[in-house]
């Protein structure tokens, strides 16, 4: 069961506050498959844009299934996700059984806690993007599907302070570094990362977590910034 299902009786409406992700809710937009209607969202990296989106390898909803980028499609259920904004990270220390550490809550307390659930054809799979469950995240940990709502491993903090403007992202027109909820390093946090290679490479590069990297002007590397969009865009976008 997702964390959202455990802590909320119903979804609040997503709002954009000052251009940022606002109160708790579910990001909703037309997504990969028509059956999702407004129930799914696609996730893309700033590096490749919405032409390539987060995809469950071979569309298998099971623990340990790899997560990759793949060309956006209007018929690929592997690209159907429900992105839940669960409220401020601080709540997950103060009110929700210390699901994140005190240090994590201190650093990212005002940022949105995010859970990304695989929802093929708009149907909950109860599997979320996650680092290995029940342990602290480490550099190079691969991101796979794991049971939702079991630990901080399937939570991410959307780091507002390091967000980047992106008109392609439908939510706040920003991309966000997504910090692993199981990260224990705060001077160099572990974030959702697209590794070296291209989405067309074989074997497909698998998403992982890596220390956040920045250019000299403090902007986070584009393979570590993530946006949200609905219907697939034209290939030239």
**How is the chain split into domains, by residue range?**
3-228
Window from 60-74, 154-168, 188-202, 211-225 with minimum mean pLDDT: 211-225
pTM of the model as a whole: 0.88
Return the closest-CA partner of residue 23 out of 109, 92, 112, 101: 112
Q: What's residue 34's pLDDT?
A: 73
Mean pLDDT for the stretch of residues 201-225: 93
Q: What's residue 33's pLDDT?
A: 78
pLDDT in tens, 41-52: 999 999 999 999
Quote the CA–CA distance of 232 and 5 in Å, as a whole number: 28
Q: Label residue 147 exposed, middle or buried (CB < 10 Å: 0-12, 13-18, 19+).
A: middle
Report the CATH architecture of 3-228: Trefoil (2.80)
Residues paired with 127 in a beta bridge: 147
Decide if pLDDT at 38 tops 80: no
Which tokens go with 71? 């060309």
Decide if pLDDT at 205 tops 50: yes
CB atoms within 10 A of CB 170: 18
Confidence band (pLDDT; 50, 70, 90) for 202? Answer: very high
Percent of the chain having pLDDT more than 70? 83
Decide if pLDDT at 19 tops 60: no
Decide if pLDDT at 212 tops 60: yes
Q: What's residue 17's pLDDT?
A: 44
Confidence band (pLDDT; 50, 70, 90) for 144? Answer: very high
Burial 34-73 (b: 16+ CB within 10 A, else e): eebeebbbbbbbbbbbbbbbbbbbeeebeeebbbbbbebe
- State the average pLDDT for the chain: 87
């Amino acid at each position: 069961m997702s964390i959202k299902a455990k802590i909320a009786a119903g979804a609040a409406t997503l709002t954009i506050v000052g251009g940022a992700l606002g109160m708790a809710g579910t990001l909703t937009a037309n997504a990969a498959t028509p059956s999702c209607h407004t129930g799914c969202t696609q996730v893309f990296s700033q590096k490749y844009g919405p032409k390539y989106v987060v995809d469950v390898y071979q569309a298998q909803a099971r623990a340990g299934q790899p997560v990759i980028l793949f060309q956006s499609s209007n018929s690929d259920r592997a690209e159907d996700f429900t992105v839940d904004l669960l409220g401020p990270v601080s709540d997950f220390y103060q009110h929700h059984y210390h699901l994140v550490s005190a240090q994590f809550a201190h650093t990212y307390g005002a940022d949105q806690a995010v859970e990304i659930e695989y929802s093929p054809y708009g149907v909950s799979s109860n599997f979320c993007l996650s680092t290995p469950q029940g342990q602290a995240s480490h550099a190079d940990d691969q991101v796979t599907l794991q049971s939702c709502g079991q630990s901080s491993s399937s939570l991410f903090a959307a780091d507002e302070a390091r967000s980047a403007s992106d008109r392609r992202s439908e939510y706040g027109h920003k991309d966000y570094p997504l910090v692993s909820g199981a990260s224990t390093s705060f001077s160099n946090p572990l974030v959702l990362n697209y590794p070296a290679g291209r989405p067309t490479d074989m074997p497909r590069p698998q998403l992982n977590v890596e220390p956040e990297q920045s250019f000299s002007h403090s902007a986070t590397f584009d393979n570590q910034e993530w946006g949200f969009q609905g219907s697939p865009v034209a290939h030239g976008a």
